[in-house]
Amino acid sequence: MKHSQKLIDQAHDLAFRGELSNKAIAKKLKLTANQLHYILYAKEDSGYWIEDVKEKEPTITESFLDFFISEDFK
C-alpha cells in the first residue's frame, strides 16, 4: 500500500510530540500497528513540521533542559 506524504508527515508529527501512544496514533490515522511501524521506521517525513516547532515558544521543560545542557555550565 502506498502511503501519502501527508499521512507519513502526520504520523511522524504525532509520534514526535509524544502525547499519544503508537496504538492511539494508529487508531487516529486509521492504520494497523504494522502500517504505523512501517511509516515511522521505514519512511521519512518531509520535515515541514520542523518550522512549526521552531516558531513555538519553548515549554518550561524545554527551558529547564536547555539551562542544564548549556555549554556555559559544563
Which pLDDT score is estimated for 30?
Answer: 95
Q: Which amino acid is at 56?
A: K
Q: How far apart are CA 2 and CA 33, in angstroms?
A: 16
Q: How confident is the model at residue 29 (pLDDT cuts 50, 70, 90)?
A: very high
In this predicted model, what pLDDT tens digit does every residue of 35-68 receive, in sequence order? 999 998 887 766 665 555 555 666 677 776 776 6
Mean pLDDT, rounded, for 12-24: 89
Range of the domain at 36: 5-73
Q: How far apart are CA 41 and CA 50, in angstroms?
A: 18
Contact 48, 16 (CB under 8 A): no
As for how many domains the chain has, the answer is: 1
Q: Which three cell numbers stand for residue 42?
A: 521505514
pTM for the structure as a whole:
0.59
